[in-house]
Amino acid sequence: MTDAKQMIDETVKANDVVLYMKGTKSMPQCGFSSKVAGVLNYMGVDFADVNVLADENIRQGIKEYSDWPTIPQLYVKGEFVGGCDIITEMTLSGELDQLFDANGVTYDKDAAEKIREANA
């Protein structure tokens, strides 16, 4: 499991935005992963996706790494942000925009606004 944690740590630190998910950003394999990947894709965020279904050690390791029991898990600039519910709330409140702005992550502000308008 140490190798998995080391791989996770390196991936999280090497990429500005990383989503540990079931499936891939182009082919999510669960509704929660699909929702978060969909938001990031729609907002034009450049993010690394890690398919936890491809490696059981990573699937278990990410839960220990973050001390968070569920997948998907979003990381921005090496910091764990949250899972589907938290990302959804942050998107609708504008907190995700603020987090991206504070960390120099490029995204489509108009797309973020459209998500909020559609869910108002």
Q: What angle do CA 56, 59, 64 make, to 5 degrees?
A: 125
pLDDT of residue 1: 53
The CATH H-level (homologous superfamily) assignment of domain 2-118 is Glutaredoxin (3.40.30.10)
pLDDT of residue 96: 98
> In whole angstroms, what is the distance from residue 82 CA to residue 71 CA?
9
Structure tokens at 73: 């898990």
Spell out the per-residue pLDDT of the chain, length 120, in tens.
579 999 999 999 999 999 999 999 999 999 999 999 999 999 999 999 999 999 999 999 999 999 999 999 999 999 999 999 999 999 999 999 999 999 999 999 999 999 999 998
Q: Domain extents for the chain?
A: 2-118
Whole-structure pTM value? 0.95
CA-based Rg of the chain, rounded to a whole angstrom? 14
Element (H, E) at 16: none
28: cis peptide before it, omega within 30°? no
- The answer to the question of whether 30 is labelled as a binding residue is yes
